[in-house]
Amino acid sequence: MKDNLSGGISPDELKTMSDGFITMGENLSKISGGLKTFHEKSGMMIPYFPHNQKELENILYEDGNLRDIFSDTIIDENHMMIMIKLKGNLEDSEIDSIFMKSPMLWKQKTLM
């Protein structure tokens, strides 16, 4: 039986392969964790108003520090600027209607 195994992989090569598989498994585990995080936070990719203060802070801050991308939009602890992007080709009357309704929308979406 030993004769049939001659010319195969050496113990050193098997050790190298084994180490490679262990590293690959660890990397796949890290990728899996990253994909899980991405899936959990994928809702952040959908435009909407945050539903509570914790959700808003999760978007704005990382490790207690304001994310650089928001440095130009935060005015102070209680105020920030936002931009509303409207669909194209709207009539002026539709834009006016949205503008007139916006104060009511802000009051309805106040964070608790």
More confident residue, 60 or 7: 60
Residues 59-105: tens digit of each pLDDT: 888 898 988 888 888 888 788 787 777 888 989 999 888 888 777 66
18 pLDDT higher than 60 = yes
Where along the chain do its domains lie?
Answer: 9-45
44 pLDDT higher than 70 = no
Long-range contacts, 50-56 (Cβ 8 Å, 24+): 50/111, 51/111, 52/111, 52/112, 53/111, 53/112, 56/111
pTM: 0.36
CA distance 6 to 20: 23
4 pLDDT higher than 70 = no
